[in-house]
């Protein structure tokens, strides 16, 4: 018999001995049974206490083994939404749950390569979506800047129109308080009076009258205020779709446009500006130059060469110019320029001006590298002038001066090549032969309507 069983039976035998004794008393028998019950209960509790932790530890180990050997299923899309940028973030889509044809379809939609395995397609799409998110963030910040600028341009009476000295608009005669916020403009004159207008009334006046004055006091409106009017009007066209649906962006036209350089008039009563002779401005072309560049020997010698070229006859200047075009890596023909008509030369001048100031989207730094001595249109006309007042030779000379400024003046070869590209781009807009020879230059500037195509 094993030891645990023997330990339990010993007290039992002792109790039986006590009970079978002929001399035992009743009280002593009760005590013996009570002792036996206590002993059995203690042994049972001890045995249960020893066996229970082992079962708990065994169960915990079994659970741990199951959890380690069980793979957590990857998340999947219960509903297969179309894989787009919007749905990707809205529904927290999992790219891995999509099949390769779906991924390729998404890649084509966002102009991505469709070759490669599934992981590569997923990486491309995820990178593109992250880039879109960054672009949206940048656009949000930039739009906020534009809107804040627009709100500032509305003027000092935007929030309290009772500050205005006038009560109605001078064209529509509507009360200022009833003008929609998008159409309201106000400014303070030199005498500290504030005037409010419907901005479309001011734009209409600027389109029809050469001199812009305040209709309530007949005082001239300063150029800075005019710039604010144009800026507010065009920004509102960009930001407000409803305003844009009813109005067109304002573009400076004809003589006013041709007499703006770097956003300032050509003609200024400033003693530091050397102006050409009013009677013969083109024949006596002598623009203001940046004298700080003359300390550089190479730039000084280059400017002397440009001056020497301009002293030659016009035909030699044209030949020399197109030789320079070819030396800068182009294939040209001087007949593209020489065969133009009077109307073509007018259009060419205006095309070059538009490309330089607007269509080419050149930064000020790039402009200063292409034309460091002075602007390409500086000093050609010393006063506002109608094109009908120009002779054939004068407008032709004006065009050749602009082309020379763009091609000869650059700080280095790259700048001169860039200037030549813009010069030839303008030429492709008026010369069919140039357009056929250089179609890529024509396409770079011909996108969108040119207001002077039918001049």
Q: What is the largest CA-CA distance in the chain?
A: 160
Say what the pLDDT of residue 451 is: 40
Say what the pLDDT of residue 450 is: 46
Average confidence (pLDDT) over 264-292: 52
CA-closest candidate to residue 380, choices 291, 251, 278, 232: 278
**Is the distance from CB of 95 to CB of 74 less than 8 angstroms?**
no
The residue out of 129, 151, 173 marking a domain boundary is 151
Same domain, 125 and 219: no
Residue 259 counted as domain residue: no
Residue 375 counted as domain residue: yes
Q: Point out the least confidently predicted range of 24-38, 160-174, 197-211, 350-364.
A: 24-38
| pLDDT over 90, % of the chain | 40
Residue 333 counted as domain residue: yes
| Paired strand residues for 187 | 195
Q: How far apart are CA 173 and CA 312, in angstroms?
A: 60
* pLDDT band of 125, cuts 50, 70, 90: very high
Coil, strand or helix: which one is 198?
strand
Same domain, 167 and 180: yes
Q: How far apart are CA 417 and CA 92, in angstroms?
A: 50
Q: How far apart are CA 12 and CA 17, in angstroms?
A: 9
Q: Point out the least confidently predicted range of 50-59, 145-154, 337-346.
A: 50-59
Same domain, 116 and 173: no
DSSP state of 264: E
How would you class 125 by CB atoms within 10 Å of its CB: exposed for 0-12, middle for 13-18, buried for 19 or more? buried
Same domain, 335 and 220: no
Same domain, 304 and 435: yes
* pLDDT band of 258, cuts 50, 70, 90: very low
Is 80 exceeded by the pLDDT of residue 449? no
Same domain, 362 and 378: yes
The residue out of 151, 167, 199 marking a domain boundary is 151
Residue that is written with structure tokens 């389109």 in the block? 207
Same domain, 116 and 162: no
CA-closest candidate to residue 356, choices 330, 376, 386, 382: 376
Same domain, 342 and 210: no
Residue 80 counted as domain residue: no
Which helix (H) or strand (E) segment holds residue 49: the answer is helix 26-69
Name the residue range of residue 45's domain.
Answer: 3-69
Residue 74 counted as domain residue: no
Is 50 exceeded by the pLDDT of residue 132? yes
Same domain, 218 and 355: no
Q: Which of 24-33, 429-438, 443-452 has the highest mean pLDDT?
A: 429-438
Say what the pLDDT of residue 307 is: 87
* pLDDT band of 359, cuts 50, 70, 90: confident
Between 78 and 137, the more confident residue is 137
Please count the structural domains in the chain. 4
CA-closest candidate to residue 228, choices 275, 263, 176: 263
Residue 453 counted as domain residue: no
Which helix (H) or strand (E) segment holds residue 196: the answer is strand 194-198
Q: Using one digit for the tens of pLDDT, what is the confidence trace for 38-78?
A: 777 777 777 776 665 555 555 556 555 545 555 544 554 55
Say what the pLDDT of residue 32 is: 67
Neighbours of 395 (CB within 10 A): 20
The residue out of 11, 44, 69 marking a domain boundary is 69
The β-bridge relationship of strands 260-261 and 184-188 is unpaired
Burial 24-63 (b: 16+ CB within 10 A, else e): eeeeeeeebeeebeebeeeeeeeeeeeeeeeeeeeeeeee
Determine if the pTM surpasses 0.85. no
Q: Which of 48-62, 300-314, 396-410 has the highest mean pLDDT?
A: 396-410
Q: Which of 90-104, 199-213, 348-362 has the highest mean pLDDT?
A: 90-104
Between 60 and 395, the more confident residue is 395
Same domain, 222 and 293: no
Same domain, 55 and 31: yes
Same domain, 40 and 94: no
Say what the pLDDT of residue 62 is: 58
Contacts within 8 Å (CB) and 24+ apart, 31-36:
35/11, 36/11, 36/12
């Amino acid at each position: 018999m094993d030891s645990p069983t023997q330990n339990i039976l010993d007290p039992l035998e002792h109790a039986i001995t006590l009970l079978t004794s002929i001399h035992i008393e009743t009280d002593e028998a009760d005590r013996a049974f009570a002792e036996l019950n206590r002993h059995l209960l203690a042994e049972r509790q001890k045995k249960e206490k020893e066996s229970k932790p082992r079962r708990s530890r065994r169960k915990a180990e079994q659970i741990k083994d199951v959890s380690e050997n069980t793979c957590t299923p990857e998340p999947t899309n219960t509903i297969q939404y179309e894989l787009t940028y919007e749905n990707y973030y809205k529904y927290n889509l999992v790219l891995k749950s999509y099949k390769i044809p779906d991924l390729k379809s998404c890649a084509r939609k966002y102009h991505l390569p469709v070759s490669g395995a599934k992981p590569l397609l997923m990486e491309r799409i995820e990178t593109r979506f992250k880039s879109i998110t960054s672009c949206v963030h940048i656009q949000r910040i930039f739009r906020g800047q534009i809107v804040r600028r627009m709100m500032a341009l509305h003027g000092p009476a935007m929030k309290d129109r009772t500050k205005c000295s006038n009560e109605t608009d001078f064209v529509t005669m509507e009360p200022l308080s009833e003008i929609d916020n998008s159409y309201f403009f106000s400014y303070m004159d030199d005498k500290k009076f504030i005037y409010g207008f419907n901005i479309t009334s001011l734009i209409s006046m600027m389109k029809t009258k050469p001199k812009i004055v305040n209709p309530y006091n007949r005082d001239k409106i300063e150029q800075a205020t005019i710039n604010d009017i144009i800026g507010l009007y065009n920004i509102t066209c960009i930001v407000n779709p409803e305003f844009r649906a009813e109005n067109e962006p304002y573009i400076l036209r004809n003589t006013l446009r041709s007499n703006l350089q770097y956003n300032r008039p050509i003609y200024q009563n400033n003693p530091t500006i050397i102006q050409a002779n009013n009677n013969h401005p083109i024949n006596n072309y002598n623009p203001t130059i940046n004298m700080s560049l003359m300390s550089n020997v190479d730039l000084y010698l280059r400017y002397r060469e440009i001056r020497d070229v301009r002293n030659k006859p016009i035909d030699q200047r044209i030949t020399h110019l197109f030789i320079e075009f070819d030396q800068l890596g182009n294939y040209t023909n001087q007949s593209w320029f020489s065969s133009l008509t009077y109307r073509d030369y007018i259009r060419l001048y205006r095309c070059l001006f538009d490309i330089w100031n607007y269509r080419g989207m050149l930064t000020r730094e790039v402009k200063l590298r292409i034309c460091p001595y002075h602007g390409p249109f500086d000093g050609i006309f010393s006063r506002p002038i109608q094109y009908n007042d120009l002779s054939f030779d004068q407008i032709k000379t004006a065009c050749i001066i602009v082309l020379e400024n763009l091609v000869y003046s650059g700080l280095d070869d790259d700048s001169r090549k860039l200037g030549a590209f813009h010069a030839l781009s303008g030429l492709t807009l008026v010369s069919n032969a140039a357009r056929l020879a250089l179609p890529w230059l024509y396409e770079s500037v011909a996108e969108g309507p040119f207001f002077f195509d039918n001049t």
